[in-house]
């Protein structure tokens, strides 16, 4: 199989942390309530060797900066109400994902790359829906493939009418793959383009421009180049008027993560990750807060990035991305916790009490996104709820995100810590919807809504292992005689299964109930794209990705499957 | 790639038409309002060489008989209110899809097999929801994998509590693939089993039995073997009470299809299929009715399987299955029609007026299913609406099912036929929902519901090409100067694209809007399964499918993707 043997050169470790002063491809220019986010790719600053980022095309490195910029605009610039996304180059907006990068990348890299870029596009939409920071896309030049998909993630798209500017999704005709960064789904479900017109768009290499682009709703407006700046300013002012972001708030700085890496241990301030390659497991232990929550919102703002919930969420997010990308043979993530569950609940109460404050709101949305990132991580997820743990409220949500959860009844001899408990907080009831639009409790109890009510009635109470099992909050509780063996057997068995089979299984079982544009992108669209990324017509030696730019047309097997 | 080179021996042509007197694997026993549908597989009567159907396992041949039985129970036995599905063997219910068959089958055969079996499971659910013929599954012995998935398609499952009878989904642990015949989706979304329990079920080779199976809702009831017959009779009587099927109606016989095959032409009574391998196209021309509709329901019943709407639907269904399975290099289906559109509308009006009659109801549901089969056909679908065509009402629905539609304005010189028109009937407004639960008009006009209203206002009117284009019912209308060239260019271009890319593209663009259990099975679940069916961990020389039964464990690449 070409796929598993072909693992091209890649840097020792892909880092997801960055900061504007290190950006090579993006610029942020804040001007009162409007910020410009400018894509100006340095074609030589690639993440992997073997390609150049011509025509504002992107690789994972460019997208890591984008994700960082979207995040910082929310936390560091609370008064920004509208982000205008545009190109720093004259005749091109963005040529999408770099084709030579895709052609040279392993299957796993392609899949990971697509997942991260999709998460980032949804983060843009979340900024708009969740906290009123709207995105406006101004296209001068060509927006092709992923370039147009970037625009699709914005609230509005204005296209210059100059004979050159266009939007296109040429993936199928050029490369035999799909517009997989949400393109297909957003065209039909967000912009609600008629399906036969969407079919035309997706098979037309040169795409659409001018009046037809607006008539078909693939953009919101076309304006002559001379009117472009005025039209963008007008739309930005209108979108800013709709925003509820505070006019005068001070942002906080997302300071560098506290992180040390020693061998297989990554230590953050509130999170410890132990990677164990022989067993193909990583254990993530989250530490509860050391102190009580701050007095008030001003004190929270004063703490800034050190505020425990924000700090832990950023550390957890970084750890997940690191494991996904840099530890691909690790098949199971084991979540543990330590600390005082009452304190975790106190922080939850604090956030709940201050949820209209811009910063508390941002932190709740940030946790929502990190929890979604857990849901979408293609690793087996298991929670171990043991003495001394702090799985309460927001941290209990991680237990609910897991494929399995084991809870120890009582304590081992000689263990002075209190027996494990779990506790729910009001935040478990709606602050953190999954991508299917339901809470994890609602998804879990789809067949017995009365169990959601029963769980609600326990809010704030410490539930011991028997109560948690009875309430259905954990998979199973074992006493000290059986616990260690049962957990060990489970983990060993899990490691013996096919990695791909588990990925498909978990991607299905985790998302019961309704589907949304988000689940459609990560379920339907992504699954089909991953299939295509395995097919010779795309990736074989005579396939379109390999032959692209060679002057020789791809040689397709016509068989329909 | 092992996949494309390995095309194992297969019969010259797989036939989908069968009849009870030719069944090798199923028996139907009708006893008043209750029928028994008994699975008793002849292990030597396989569709392909190289395996035996041990333990009531199945291949496509077994499922073709099941699909036929489900169909005949509806049409030939209107007074049957409950179908009891059971095994004819003593210690086994059904071992699911035959593993050696899967291991030896090409990728295309596996994918086609799964699609057809899934369609058949939904046909069982449609019989229950659509026309009150409920399915009750009585399990004595083991129901493994596809065996349990067969049970999941029933309304109720009764499991014998005898220490032996069990239900299981061992696909992942045994074969490194998914329970892909709806298993994952029905466990979480139909039976609403808690996700961590579903995860236990899907990783436990031996499955569940007894009390736990009922407590976890994987079955509805467990009863001691001695009580089994009484419990089944009790449940059947209760389900029969809920049914609105007529007690005394006479069925009609689904007589053999009129079909002749000569070279690349398949001629049915109301449908002509011309296959053109060099261009990779098949043209399906549907013929409108020769006569006016019958006087009344009794006369319709008298006509039986000759009644035009039923006849055409069965022929179209057979042609679709034939093309999908036996003409896999044919990438585009071109739909044409001929006849008098007013007569088609008259038949629609007749069905609409008689929709409470059991037979008319069955025929409407049958058309719904055939139209869904079109939606789910992984070929490019194009409608050509030309002079002399009869795309009205039910036949217009096929235009709406297509990826593209072209309409000729006026007539070519020398053509005496009337210029093409289209017309809608009340049946376009709700009789034929897609699997997303919306009508094709609603799906098409998701972004402009006012266009659905406008279309409704045209019901019964003959719309010329300009009006159809204006109303958005066709992709584009061309005059005689451009039409032939534009259609030719489109078809040639389509044939030049990657077959797999088109499959993925169409599977996304066709299903805008909400998702249902049905779209989840054909989108999310199937797409992941198809991906897994390409992965070395499942199908490689050291993968689980190839190594099954060899005594040597599969050797998995642990990389998570």
DSSP A292-337: PPPSSHHHHHHHGGGSHHHHHHHHHHHHHHHHHHH-TT--EEEEEE
Q: Which long-range contacts (CB under 8 A, 24 or more apart) does A469-472 make?
A: A469/A407, A472/A444, A472/A445, A472/A448, A472/B194
Length in residues, chain B: 561
Quote the tokens at residue A387: 């003495």
Exposed/middle/buried for residue A382 (C-beta within 10 Å: 0-12, 13-18, 19+): buried
Yes or no, beta carbons of B514 and A515 under 8 Å apart:
yes
User: Which residue, among A162, A79, A116, has the nearest Cα to A377 in the 3D structure?
Assistant: A116
Cα–Cα distance measured from residue A131 to residue B13, given in angstroms and rounded to the nearest whole number:
59
Task: State yes or no: pLDDT of A10 exceeds 90.
Answer: no
Q: How confident is the model at residue A198 (pLDDT cuts 50, 70, 90)?
A: very high
Q: How confident is the model at residue A12 (pLDDT cuts 50, 70, 90)?
A: confident
Of A2, A172, A503, the CB nearest to B560: A503
Q: Which residue of B has its CA nearest to A475?
A: B196
Q: A111 in contact with B at a CB cutoff of 8 Å?
A: yes
CB neighbour list of residue A561: distance below 8 Å, 6 or more residues apart: B107, B108, B111, B112, B328, B378, B499, B500, B503, B530
- From chain B, pick out residues whose CB is under 8 angstroms from the CB of A475: 196-197, 200
Task: State yes or no: pLDDT of A66 exceeds 80.
Answer: yes
DSSP-assigned beta bridge partners for residue A142: A92, A166
CB neighbour list of residue B88: distance below 8 Å, 6 or more residues apart: B27, B38, B39, B40, B56
Q: A209 in contact with B at a CB cutoff of 8 Å?
A: no
Degrees to nearest 5, angle at CA A313 with A310 and A319: 140
Q: Is A112 helix (H, G, I), strand (E, B) or coil?
A: helix
- From chain B, pick out residues whose CB is under 8 angstroms from the CB of A114: none
Selected for mutation to probe chain A from B190, B452, B531, B533 (highest A CB count within 10 Å) is B531
Of A497, A498, A524, the CB nearest to B508: A524
Yes or no, beta carbons of B172 and A537 under 8 Å apart:
no
Yes or no, beta carbons of B540 and A2 under 8 Å apart:
no
Interval A371-392 mean pLDDT = 98
pLDDT of residue A4: 37
Cα–Cα distance measured from residue B383 to residue B440, given in angstroms and rounded to the nearest whole number:
15
In whole angstroms, how far apart are CA A548 and each of A10, A102, A539, A552, B284?
Answer: 22, 11, 11, 8, 35
Cα–Cα distance measured from residue B232 to residue B223, given in angstroms and rounded to the nearest whole number:
10
Q: A189 in contact with B at a CB cutoff of 8 Å?
A: yes
Q: A278 in contact with B at a CB cutoff of 8 Å?
A: no
A with B: how many residue pairs have Cβ under 8 Å apart?
304
Q: A554 in contact with B at a CB cutoff of 8 Å?
A: yes
Percentage of residues of chain B with pLDDT beyond 90:
97
Cα–Cα distance measured from residue A325 to residue A10, given in angstroms and rounded to the nearest whole number:
11
State the smallest CA–CA distance between residue B411 and chain A in angstroms.
24
Yes or no, beta carbons of A446 and B2 under 8 Å apart:
no
Quote the tokens at residue B403: 């990826």
Q: A211 in contact with B at a CB cutoff of 8 Å?
A: no
Of B505, B536, B558, the CB nearest to A178: B505
Q: A140 in contact with B at a CB cutoff of 8 Å?
A: no
Q: B385 in contact with A at a CB cutoff of 8 Å?
A: no
Q: Is A41 helix (H, G, I), strand (E, B) or coil?
A: coil
pLDDT of residue A11: 55
Q: B329 in contact with A at a CB cutoff of 8 Å?
A: yes
pLDDT of residue B2: 36
Q: B278 in contact with A at a CB cutoff of 8 Å?
A: no
Q: A558 in contact with B at a CB cutoff of 8 Å?
A: yes
Concatenated DSSP letters of B43-89: TT--SSSS---GGGEE-HHHHHHHHHHHHHHHHT-TT--EEEEEESS
State the smallest CA–CA distance between residue A345 and chain B in angstroms.
25
pLDDT of residue B9: 43
Q: Which residue do the tokens 């009708």 mark? A: B30
Yes or no, beta carbons of B509 and A188 under 8 Å apart:
yes
* Phi (first) and psi of residue B29, to 5 degrees: -130, 110
Alpha-helix runs per DSSP H in A376-516: 394-401, 440-444, 449-457, 465-471, 483-496, 499-509
Q: B277 in contact with A at a CB cutoff of 8 Å?
A: no
Q: Is A447 helix (H, G, I), strand (E, B) or coil?
A: coil
Quote the tokens at residue A160: 């210059």
Cα–Cα distance measured from residue A154 to residue A128, given in angstroms and rounded to the nearest whole number:
8
Q: A529 in contact with B at a CB cutoff of 8 Å?
A: yes
Q: Is the dihedral of CA B189, B193, B197, B202 positive or negative?
A: negative
* Phi (first) and psi of residue B17, to 5 degrees: -85, 135
- From chain A, pick out residues whose CB is under 8 angstroms from the CB of B379: 560
Query: Strand (E) positions, B80-227?
Result: 82-87, 92-94, 96-97, 134-139, 142-144, 156-161, 166-168, 221-224
State the smallest CA–CA distance between residue B406 and chain A in angstroms.
11
Interval B54-58 mean pLDDT = 98
Greatest distance between any 2 Cα atoms in chain B? 78
Degrees to nearest 5, angle at CA A325 with A320 and A330: 75
* Phi (first) and psi of residue A35, to 5 degrees: -115, 145
Cα–Cα distance measured from residue B146 to residue B125, given in angstroms and rounded to the nearest whole number:
16
Per-residue model confidence as pLDDT tens digits over A397-419? 999 999 999 999 999 999 999 99
State the smallest CA–CA distance between residue A67 and chain B in angstroms.
21
Of A107, A524, A554, the CB nearest to B524: A524
Find residues 433-492 of chain B whose CB sits inside 8 Å of chain A.
Answer: 443-448, 472, 475
Q: A5 in contact with B at a CB cutoff of 8 Å?
A: no
Q: Which residue of A has its CA nearest to B182?
A: A508
In whole angstroms, how far apart are CA A513 and each of A179, A507, A516, B502?
Answer: 26, 13, 10, 28
Yes or no, beta carbons of B184 and A508 under 8 Å apart:
yes
Are residues B180 and B188 in contact, defined by beta-carbon separation less than 8 angstroms?
no
Per-residue model confidence as pLDDT tens digits over B344-375? 999 999 999 999 999 999 999 999 999 999 99
Yes or no, beta carbons of A512 and B556 under 8 Å apart:
no
Yes or no, beta carbons of B512 and A195 under 8 Å apart:
yes
Yes or no, beta carbons of B538 and A501 under 8 Å apart:
yes
Per-residue model confidence as pLDDT tens digits over B465-476? 999 999 999 999
State the smallest CA–CA distance between residue A279 and chain B in angstroms.
11
Of B203, B499, B534, the CB nearest to A560: B499
Q: Which residue do the tokens 């990308």 mark? A: A325
Cα–Cα distance measured from residue A427 to residue B343, given in angstroms and rounded to the nearest whole number:
61
Task: State yes or no: pLDDT of B27 exceeds 60.
Answer: yes
Per-residue model confidence as pLDDT tens digits over A120-150? 999 999 999 999 999 999 999 999 999 999 9
Q: Which residue of B has its CA nearest to A187?
A: B509
Of A172, A520, A531, the CB nearest to B531: A531
Of B176, B192, B500, the CB nearest to A498: B176
- From chain B, pick out residues whose CB is under 8 angstroms from the CB of A107: 561
- From chain A, pick out residues whose CB is under 8 angstroms from the CB of B469: none
Task: State yes or no: pLDDT of A443 exceeds 50.
Answer: yes
DSSP-assigned beta bridge partners for residue A37: A28, A85
- From chain A, pick out residues whose CB is under 8 angstroms from the CB of B538: 498, 500-501
Interval B255-273 mean pLDDT = 97
Task: State yes or no: pLDDT of A3 exceeds 90.
Answer: no
Interval B37-49 mean pLDDT = 97
pLDDT of residue B11: 55
Q: Which residue do the tokens 């499918």 mark? A: B545
Task: State yes or no: pLDDT of B5 exceeds 50.
Answer: no
Yes or no, beta carbons of B508 and A528 under 8 Å apart:
yes
Q: B547 in contact with A at a CB cutoff of 8 Å?
A: no
* Phi (first) and psi of residue B157, to 5 degrees: -125, 125
Element (H, E) at A85: strand A82-87
Alpha-helix runs per DSSP H in A336-482: 341-353, 358-375, 394-401, 440-444, 449-457, 465-471
Yes or no, beta carbons of B447 and A528 under 8 Å apart:
no
Yes or no, beta carbons of B328 and A4 under 8 Å apart:
no
Interval A171-176 mean pLDDT = 96
Interval B102-111 mean pLDDT = 95
Interval A34-62 mean pLDDT = 97
Task: State yes or no: pLDDT of A1 exceeds 90.
Answer: no
Q: How confident is the model at residue A281 (pLDDT cuts 50, 70, 90)?
A: very high
Are residues B90 and B55 in contact, defined by beta-carbon separation less than 8 angstroms?
no
Cα–Cα distance measured from residue B507 to residue B528, given in angstroms and rounded to the nearest whole number:
13
Q: Which long-range contacts (CB under 8 A, 24 or more apart) does A41-50 make?
A: A41/A89, A46/A98, A46/A101, A47/A11, A47/A14, A48/A8, A48/A9, A48/A10, A48/A11, A48/A101, A48/A104, A48/A105, A49/A9, A50/A8, A50/A9, A50/A100, A50/A101, A50/A104
A265-268 and A271-276 as β-strands: parallel, antiparallel, unpaired? antiparallel
Quote the tokens at residue A184: 């297909």
* Phi (first) and psi of residue B137, to 5 degrees: -110, 125
pLDDT of residue A8: 45
Of A194, A328, A529, the CB nearest to B444: A194
Q: Which residue of B has its CA nearest to A1?
A: B1
Task: State yes or no: pLDDT of B477 exceeds 60.
Answer: yes
């Amino acid at each position: 199989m070409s796929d598993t043997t072909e693992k091209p050169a890649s840097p020792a470790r892909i880092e997801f942390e960055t900061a504007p002063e290190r950006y090579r491809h993006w610029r942020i220019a804040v001007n009162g309530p409007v910020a410009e986010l400018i894509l100006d790719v340095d074609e030589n600053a690639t993440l992997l060797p073997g390609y150049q980022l011509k025509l504002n095309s992107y690789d994972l490195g460019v997208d890591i900066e984008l994700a960082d910029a979207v995040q910082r605009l929310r936390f560091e610039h609370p008064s920004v109400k509208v982000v205008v996304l545009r190109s720093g180059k004259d005749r091109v907006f963005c040529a999408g994902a770099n084709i030579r990068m895709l052609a040279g990348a392993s299957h796993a890299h392609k899949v990971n790359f697509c997942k991260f870029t999709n998460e980032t596009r949804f983060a843009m939409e979340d900024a708009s829906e969740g906290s009123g920071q709207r995105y406006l896309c101004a296209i001068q030049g060509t927006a092709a493939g992923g370039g147009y998909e970037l625009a699709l993630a914005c609230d509005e798209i204005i296209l210059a009418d100059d004979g050159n500017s266009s939007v296109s999704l040429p993936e199928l005709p050029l490369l035999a793959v799909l517009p997989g960064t949400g393109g297909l789904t957003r065209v039909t479900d967000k912009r609600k383009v008629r399906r036969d017109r969407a079919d035309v768009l997706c098979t037309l290499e040169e795409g659409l421009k001018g009046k037809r682009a607006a008539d078909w709703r693939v953009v919101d407006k076309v304006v002559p180049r001379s009117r472009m700046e005025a039209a963008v300013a007008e739309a930005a002012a209108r979108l800013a008027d709709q925003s509820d972001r505070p006019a005068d708030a001070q942002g906080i700085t997302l300071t560098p993560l506290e992180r040390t890496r020693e061998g297989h241990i990554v230590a953050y301030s509130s999170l410890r990750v132990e990677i164990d390659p022989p067993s193909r497991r990583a254990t993530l232990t989250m530490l509860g807060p050391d102190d009580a929550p701050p007095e008030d919102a001003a004190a929270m703002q004063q703490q800034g990035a050190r505020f425990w919930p924000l700090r832990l969420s950023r550390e957890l997010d970084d750890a997940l991305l690191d494991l996904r990308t840099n530890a691909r043979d690790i098949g199971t993530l084991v979540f543990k916790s330590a600390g005082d569950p009452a304190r975790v609940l106190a922080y939850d109460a604090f956030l709940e009490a201050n949820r209209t404050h811009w910063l508390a709101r941002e932190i709740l949305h940030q946790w929502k996104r990190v929890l979604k990132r857990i849901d979408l991580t293609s690793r087996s997820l298991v929670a171990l709820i043991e003495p001394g743990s702090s799985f309460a409220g927001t941290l209990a949500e991680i237990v609910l995100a897991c494929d399995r959860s084991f809870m120890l009844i009582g304590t081992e001899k000689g263990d002075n810590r209190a027996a494990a408990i779990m506790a729910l907080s009001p935040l478990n009831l709606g602050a953190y919807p999954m991508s299917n639009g339901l809470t994890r409790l609602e998804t879990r109890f789809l067949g017995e809504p009365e169990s959601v009510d029963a769980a609600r009635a326990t809010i704030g109470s410490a539930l011991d292992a028997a109560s948690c099992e009875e309430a259905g909050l954990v998979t199973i509780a074992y006493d000290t005689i059986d616990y260690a063996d049962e957990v060990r057997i489970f983990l060993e068995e899990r490691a013996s299964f096919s990695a791909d089979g588990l990925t498909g299984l978990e991607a299905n079982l985790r998302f019961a109930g309704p589907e949304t544009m988000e689940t459609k992108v990560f379920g339907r669209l992504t699954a089909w794209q991953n299939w295509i990324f395995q097919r010779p017509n795309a990736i074989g030696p005579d396939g379109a990705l390999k032959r692209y730019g060679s002057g020789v047309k791809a040689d397709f097997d016509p068989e329909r499957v």
